Amino acid sequence: MTDTLLSSRLRAETRDWHDRMETLMQRADVFASRLNYGRFTTAQYLFQQDVEAFFDDPRLQQAVPDLQVRGRLEAARQDLLDLEQPVPPQLPQTRHVTMPSALGWLYVSEGSTLGAAFLFNEAKEKLGLSADFGARNLAAYPEGRARVWRRFIASLDEQPAGDHGSIVQGARSAYARFEALLLASTSQPT
């Protein structure tokens, strides 16, 4: 049997983008200072704004029944306040994105909660931040990262095959958006 699970396709067909993210995060030297980390958090806030713009779409709610436990926009907003960084205005750039590609965007956002376990430790150790101050956006969901991720994978793997191509394209667009946001916020003069 060929491997046609959407979750496997997404992992395989966006691996190049994930590698780029890791390189970009290293270059941005996110944990060198609270200022650098604040810039990363601004990118995270803007990205979460783009993703949560879909949350009232009934088709996304149907595809991901536990949608309400997901998303880190409010956490990122509070982190920006903790870090005394300006909170950007509410201007999501994803009004043109609809289901099924919206699910690819959500995949990138949800998957990033896994690597965030490592980032959270760095934020704690190098910058003295925590789940209650400054690093809420990297903290695990109350139910735990793995459990919430496994449920998301189960939702992905129930999507009809005809939608898979659009979902993968959505994920690639989401990575491109995160890259642009990270480059824009981390290339500010110090």
**Per-residue DSSP letter, 72:** -
Query: Between 73 and 84, whose beta carbon lies closer to ligand HEM?
Result: 73
Q: How far is the CB of 71 from ligand HEM (least distance, A)?
A: 14
Going through 36-187 in order, the beta strands assigned E by DSSP cover: none
Query: Between 26 and 58, whose beta carbon lies closer to ligand HEM?
Result: 26
Q: How far is the CB of 179 from ligand HEM (least distance, A)?
A: 8
Q: Which two tokens stand for residue 58?
A: 């009934």
Q: Closest residue (Cβ) to ligand HEM?
A: 111
Q: How far is the CB of 123 from ligand HEM (least distance, A)?
A: 12
Which CA distances in Å does 27 have to 23, 79, 92, 120, 175? 6, 22, 26, 18, 17
Residue 124 exposed, middle or buried by CB count within 10 Å (0-12, 13-18, 19+):
middle
Residue 61 exposed, middle or buried by CB count within 10 Å (0-12, 13-18, 19+):
middle
Binding-site ranges for ligand HEM (CB under 6 A) = 10-11, 18, 21-22, 25, 107-108, 111-112, 114-115, 118, 178
Query: Between 24 and 131, whose beta carbon lies closer to ligand HEM?
Result: 24
Distance of CA 55 to the CA centre of its chain: 14
Query: Between 35 and 114, whose beta carbon lies closer to ligand HEM?
Result: 114
Q: How far is the CB of 136 from ligand HEM (least distance, A)?
A: 17
Q: How far is the CB of 107 from ligand HEM (least distance, A)?
A: 6
Is there a contact between 186 and 28 (Cβ–Cβ < 8 Å)? yes
Is the N-terminal amide bond of 58 cis, ω within 30° of 0? no
Query: Between 58 and 67, whose beta carbon lies closer to ligand HEM?
Result: 67
Q: Residue type for 64, please?
A: V
